[in-house]
Structure 1
Amino acid sequence: MRSEPAVSLVENAPGERIQPAECETHGAFEQKVIVMLGREFKIGCPECSRIRAEEEAERKQAQEAMVVRMRMAEKLGAALIPKRFAIKTFENYIAESAGQTKALAKCQSYAKSFGEHFKAGRCMLLLGKPGTGKTHLAVAIANEIMATSSATAVYRTIGSILQAIRATYDHSSDRTEAGIYSSLIEPSLLILDEIGASKEKPSEFELSTLFAIINGRYEEQLPTIIVSNLGAQELPAAIGERCADRLREGGVIVLPFTWESQRGKEGF
């Protein structure tokens, strides 16, 4: 019976070597060649591999961010930023005075460093005259952080919140009071607008609602942006001292809007 030729263990032993190679994009590089079971496996350009890995990581991050936003959109529905404010950005905010330029820069800085403010639960107060661009800049912050990260943001007026909660009492809404509070406490950033708009003393219902929201976010160490036509000295009376105290913690940023209204500049 004829015997089979012996297999050389040395020839089939795994190993590797380095040889010169050329990448069409990045030029010369040292190529690693792995030899296994008699076959050669050549490792490509390390710079190409690094770029592909970074692109894949960015793609995965973008997909994850999109999933987070879609889930939040499905859950919050009308609580997301209204269509009217969807186009409000830093780029289309017109800064004509030194005060407006400073306000724009402060809000841009807040958005750029949102990761830091988010960790600290640092709140922001945009206070002052009506028609001065407070809501525009507040929503621009929200739009910016949602466009550049996985953060979620919700814009609501206090009036719409009170109306939504009252609707749960007579069963004219399919939402629950607990669900409404949850939708306002969970987002990465909440913008509360038109605080103290009526200029009247707030009712106990309004104060208790504001406290439930602000305290809920305070306990979760989440930042809130307050937008109001009131000044810094008037705000505590409109939201309650307990709310004001919670907003201050973490180094609240107070931004006064003292210039004249920009509404009606178009001539009507």
Structure 2
Amino acid sequence: MQNVGDFLARVSTGPFPASARQVREFAPEYGHCEEHGRWQLNVLDEQGVERWLPEGCPKCKKQQKARSLIRRADIAPRFQSCSFENYRTESESQAHALAVCSDYAATFDRQLAAGRCMILRGNSGTGKNHLSTAIMLQILNAGFSALRVKAASYLDEYWAKDFGDRERWIVDMANVDLLVIDEIGRAPITRAANDAFFRLIDERYEKVRPTIIVSNLDREELRSTLGAAAYDRLTEGGGRLLNFDWQSARAHRAT
């Protein structure tokens, strides 16, 4: 979606196009959307030139872009309804995790500018996937890009590619605004796997792109699994580690 500021910033200062004219009296005109109401069709720039904006409801365009981004984010159907509003809290620790993740999503423009990462670690069934997905969905709806990948799937694809394809693939993954790597530590990690994770985390670190790690491992196990260099990049510059150390909600519901 193009907002007015972005559109005006791209307008040439040279000869005015057919859709632009200098006016003495500016009269805004509006289009109408059955869902979102009216939107402005024309604006007056700083030079007193009338500019006509692209056709179509901007809010509809934003929704279409968000739906497209969500389809490409690889969020499993089970988690597509996750939100901060439907995350249940029954303890101060859960409320703290919710507050931190909600703030991260609400201020994602600043988190992105700083490349600030997060690690969500703790017991199974404690809501790590719920909150990481809620972050993704909120920023996707705001127009940012995000991708979720399981650690084992990443390693399988990493080793299946030849060197040239692998380099281009890592660069593509490093360009995503937010990357969520799930299930770190579900399978034994070799030195080669350490190197594979470092390649991706380091590429994102250099591009100042935030990464969220989701894992059942404790802090020292994570550091060993990812390698000290990769772990340090995740926690540098205010990176947060959240401990999900309460009882599994799935186990609680089963009793």
Aligned length: 214
Alignment partner, residue 242 of structure 1: 229
Q: 119, 134, 137: which one pairs with 2:131?
A: 137
| Residue 66 of structure 1: how far off its partner (Å) | 4.5
Alignment partner, residue 61 of structure 2: 63
Q: 1:92 to 1:54 in 2, by over 3 A?
A: farther
Alignment partner, residue 226 of structure 1: 213
Alignment partner, residue 119 of structure 2: 125
Alignment partner, residue 175 of structure 2: 186
> Alpha carbon RMSD of aligned pairs, Å?
3.3
Kept in 2, the 8 Å contact 1:127–1:227? The answer is yes
| Unpaired runs of at least 5, structure 1 | 1-40, 170-174
Per-residue displacement from partner, 1:50-84 (whole Å, max 9, x unpaired)?
x73799799547636855874x679xx5x622323
Alignment partner, residue 96 of structure 2: 102
Alignment partner, residue 251 of structure 1: 238
Say which SS state the counterpart of residue 256 (structure 1) adopts: strand
Q: Please tell me whether residue 146 in structure 1 is matched to residue 134 in structure 2.
A: no
| Unpaired runs of at least 5, structure 2 | 1-23, 30-38, 44-52
Q: Please tell me whether residue 209 in structure 1 is matched to residue 196 in structure 2.
A: yes
Q: 1:54 to 1:225 in 2, by over 3 A?
A: farther
| Residue 135 of structure 1: how far off its partner (Å) | 1.1
Structure-1-length-normalised TM-score: 0.69
Q: 1:132 to 1:68 in 2, by over 3 A?
A: closer
Distance 1:180 1:135 in 2: 25
Say which SS state the counterpart of residue 92 (structure 1) adopts: coil
Say which SS state the counterpart of residue 112 (structure 2) adopts: helix
| Residue 98 of structure 1: how far off its partner (Å) | 1.5
Kept in 1, the 8 Å contact 2:147–2:178? The answer is yes
Structure-2-length-normalised TM-score: 0.72
Distance 2:167 2:205 in 1: 17
Distance 2:231 2:82 in 1: 28
Per-residue displacement from partner, 1:189-236 (whole Å, max 9, x unpaired)?
0001111223x4x21221111001100100100000011112223321
Q: 164, 168, 175: which one pairs with 2:161?
A: 168
Q: 1:62 to 1:249 in 2, by over 3 A?
A: farther
